[in-house]
């Protein structure tokens, strides 16, 4: 029986819930190949994490204790030695800042192909995987020989799971901290902001289409007129125009308002991951082909600088 190795993601012992989607991607692959699913968990809180990911379809969980947060130099030797022991046909991790940190290094060290940011795949005689590029404007199909490493885009597989009967195997690895090139001292959570966008009933969300920071004035005045809370896409936060707690999406907050009004937002998959539970999505974008329109209930093709003042006037 061949093996599939899956690296579970957690932060200081708290499971990243997208790990279940990652496991389901591996389980789908194992059914096509007839492989056993082996899971690696490295770090702290291993008993709880093992219990959480003991789901149907998983064969063995390999636990390696380490009394410190994620570190590239910690993960690489553990994963490569587990890889040498299991000789997996495929190794899967999440396509997150952590997964994209260690997976390319493993691929390079073991000299096996890396298939990044995968959203779906088929397996017949070899794997045919799909990744999306340029804010999902382009789908690229990649076929690869095995063994290979896949990083799986969070949210691409369902997180549904049911409890299973799983073997727990302590995978002991002597950690030589002296060989580490750098140390992660601590992870700091952003301080909680005054606004909780996940509680808002009406969100006016602004994206890069706003052009300049000074144009936020129009956004806030329109939001006030219509009684909305202001949220944003990631580039607005990355530029420091709004605080992180206003960011919607995969690496921001998931929201579920009655109305989500997206203004100058293209609709990249990482943004859409945060707005799927909105009851009604209304979008304003000057590009009629913007992907945000594909999931909008109502769409206005036009210039936000003309439409927002007209909207505010209507409500004042």
167 versus 310: smaller Cβ distance to ligand FAD: 310
Look up residue 253 and give its two tokens: 């907050």
Indicate the residue whose CB is closest to ligand FAD. Answer: 249
Q: Taking the complex as a whole, how short is the minimal distance between the CB of residue 270 and ligand FAD, in angstroms? A: 3
71 versus 270: smaller Cβ distance to ligand FAD: 270
Q: Taking the complex as a whole, how short is the minimal distance between the CB of residue 251 and ligand FAD, in angstroms? A: 4
SS3 call for 145: coil
Q: Taking the complex as a whole, how short is the minimal distance between the CB of residue 58 and ligand FAD, in angstroms? A: 26
**Dihedral of alpha carbons 158, 145, 148, 94, sign:** negative
61 versus 210: smaller Cβ distance to ligand FAD: 210
Q: Taking the complex as a whole, how short is the minimal distance between the CB of residue 241 and ligand FAD, in angstroms? A: 11
170 versus 302: smaller Cβ distance to ligand FAD: 302
Environment class of residue 108 by beta-carbon count within 10 Å: exposed (0-12), middle (13-18) or buried (19+)?
Answer: exposed
Q: Taking the complex as a whole, how short is the minimal distance between the CB of residue 268 and ligand FAD, in angstroms? A: 4
CB 53 within 8 A of CB 164: no
DSSP class of residue 87? -
Contact residues for ligand FAD (CB under 6 A)? 135, 207-209, 233-235, 247-252, 264-266, 268, 270-271, 274, 284-287, 290, 303-305
Look up residue 59 and give its two tokens: 């064969």
Q: Taking the complex as a whole, how short is the minimal distance between the CB of residue 7 and ligand FAD, in angstroms? A: 17
Look up residue 216 and give its two tokens: 């936020």
Count of H helices and E strands in the chain?
8, 16
Q: Taking the complex as a whole, how short is the minimal distance between the CB of residue 167 and ligand FAD, in angstroms? A: 33
Residue ranges of alpha helices (H) inside the chain are 19-33, 46-52, 72-86, 99-110, 216-226, 234-238, 269-272, 304-315
5 versus 269: smaller Cβ distance to ligand FAD: 269
Q: From residue 117, how far is each of 129, 142, 156, 157 by CA, in Å?
A: 10, 11, 10, 12
Residues pairing with 248 in the sheet: 253
CB 192 within 8 A of CB 253: no
119 versus 266: smaller Cβ distance to ligand FAD: 266
16 versus 135: smaller Cβ distance to ligand FAD: 135
């Amino acid at each position: 029986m061949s093996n599939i190795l899956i690296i579970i993601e957690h932060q200081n012992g708290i499971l990243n819930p997208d790990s279940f989607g990652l496991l389901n991607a591996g389980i789908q692959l194992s059914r096509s190949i007839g492989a056993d699913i082996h899971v690696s968990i490295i770090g702290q809180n291993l008993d709880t994490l093992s219990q959480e990911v003991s789901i149907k379809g998983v064969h063995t969980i390999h636990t390696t204790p380490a009394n410190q947060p994620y570190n590239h130099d910690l993960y690489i030797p553990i994963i490569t030695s587990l890889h040498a022991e299991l000789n997996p046909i495929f190794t899967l991790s999440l396509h997150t800042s952590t997964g994209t940190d260690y997976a390319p290094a493993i691929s390079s060290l073991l000299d096996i192909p890396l298939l990044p940011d995968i959203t779906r795949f088929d397996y017949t005689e070899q794997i045919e995987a799909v990744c999306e590029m340029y804010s999902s404007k382009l789908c690229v199909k990649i076929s690869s020989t095995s063994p290979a490493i896949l990083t799986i885009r969070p949210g691409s597989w369902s997180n549904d799971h049911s409890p299973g009967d799983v073997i727990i195997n302590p995978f002991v690895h002597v950690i030589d901290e002296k060989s580490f090139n750098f140390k992660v001292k601590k992870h700091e959570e952003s301080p909680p902001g005054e606004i909780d966008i996940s509680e808002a009933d009406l969100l006016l969300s602004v994206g890069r289409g706003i052009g300049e920071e000074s144009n936020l004035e129009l956004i806030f005045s329109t939001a006030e007129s219509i009684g909305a809370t202001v949220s944003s896409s990631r580039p607005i936060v990355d530029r420091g125009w709004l605080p992180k707690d206003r960011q919607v999406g995969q690496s921001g907050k998931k929201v579920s308002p009655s109305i989500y009004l997206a203004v100058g937002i293209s609709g990249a998959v990482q943004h859409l991951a945060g707005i799927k539970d909105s009851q009604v999505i209304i979008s304003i974008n000057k590009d009629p082909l913007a992907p945000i329109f594909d999931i909008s209930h109502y769409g206005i093709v036009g210039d936000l600088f003309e439409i927002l003042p007209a909207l505010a006037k209507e409500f004042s």
